[in-house]
């Protein structure tokens, strides 16, 4: 089984301004949420994502998430492979799954996502 890229996230400080930019430039649809907006690109291919204002550093970032069956096991594999877990794994509120951020051996920050059962 592979690990598909299932979501992207664009970090910002001003979510309203950032969402408006992507809606205008790329015709993306946005559903406002607590930290910004869930994004529907409206495309027949690719993945949807989010624009997020965390309220703390890092403000500006671009993230993509690979789907995993078990976030804890994936974090163990990341560590064994020379990566470093930077956040998580954490439960997503509302029973929406789990996620973690990690650095690969070159320092790139990426995410993993475990869907809800």
Query: Which pLDDT does position 109 carry in this prediction?
Result: 93
pLDDT digit string, tens, across residues 46-68: 899 999 998 888 889 999 999 99
Instruction: Assess whether the region 1-67 and the region 74-117 belong to the same CATH fold.
Output: yes
Average pLDDT, the chain: 92
Mean pLDDT of the 23-40 span: 91
**In this structure, CATH architecture of domain 1-67:** Roll (3.10)
CB atoms within 10 A of CB 42: 11
Instruction: List the chain domain ranges.
Output: 1-67, 74-117
The answer, yes or no, to whether residue 8 has pLDDT greater than 90, is yes
Confidence of residue 77 (pLDDT cuts 50, 70, 90): very high
Q: What are phi and psi of 99, to 5 degrees?
A: -145, 165
* Fold adopted by 74-117: 2,3-Dihydroxybiphenyl 1,2-Dioxygenase; domain 1 (3.10.180)
pTM for the predicted model, two decimal places: 0.83
């Amino acid at each position: 089984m592979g690990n598909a890229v299932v979501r992207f996230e664009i970090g910002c400080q001003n979510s309203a301004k950032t969402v408006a930019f992507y809606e205008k430039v790329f015709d993306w649809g946005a559903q406002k949420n607590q930290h910004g907006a869930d994004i529907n690109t409206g495309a027949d291919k690719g993945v949807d994502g989010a624009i997020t204002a965390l309220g703390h550093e890092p403000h500006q970032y671009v993230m993509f998430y690979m789907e995993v069956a078990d976030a804890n096991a994936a974090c163990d594999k990341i560590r064994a492979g020379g990566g470093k877990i930077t956040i998580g794994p954490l439960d997503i509120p509302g029973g929406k799954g789990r996620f973690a951020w990690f650095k690969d051996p070159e320092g790139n920050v990426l995410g993993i996502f475990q869907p809800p059962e």
